[in-house]
Amino acid sequence: MSPLDTLTLSGIRLYRRHLSPRKGFCCAHAALYGGESCSAAVARIVREEGLLEGRARIAARFGECRAAHNLLRAGSPLAFGTDGPRVRGVCCCGPIPIPFRCG
């Protein structure tokens, strides 16, 4: 594991310990589909492939999270029924903060 990977994983741990509890523990992707949050998925990718080699998968995950955010924001029937989303927070572990609402 490279020093960059170690630094990245340390940053993710810091984020998960101190920031994630304040925003609701889950990203839009995890809120909509269940499973891993983006921070957990990115940490797994970094451990498996490294930050540089895994950057395409990381970018794809953030893109999926953004799409999930759009579904939640639109009140998709996939998003907890037709009365709109019931989630709240900000996914800020990427280049663009992604506001979302989570139940």
Confidence of residue 33 (pLDDT cuts 50, 70, 90): confident
| Domain of 44, in residue numbers | 3-100
Number of domains in the chain: 1
Percent of the chain with pLDDT over 90: 44
Question: Please, are residues 39 and 92 in contact by the beta-carbon 8 Å criterion?
Answer: no
More confident residue, 56 or 87: 56
Q: What is the pLDDT of residues 48-66, one digit of tens each?
A: 999 999 999 999 999 999 9
For residues 75-95, average pLDDT: 53
β-strand partners of 99: 90
More confident residue, 40 or 77: 40
Quote the CA–CA distance of 87 and 103 in Å, as a whole number.
Answer: 4
List the one residue out of 87, 91, 19 whose CA is nearest residue 61: 91
Give the predicted TM-score (pTM) of the model.
0.70
Q: Where are the alpha helices (DSSP H) in the chain?
A: 3-14, 20-23, 28-33, 38-49, 55-74
pLDDT on residue 21: 77
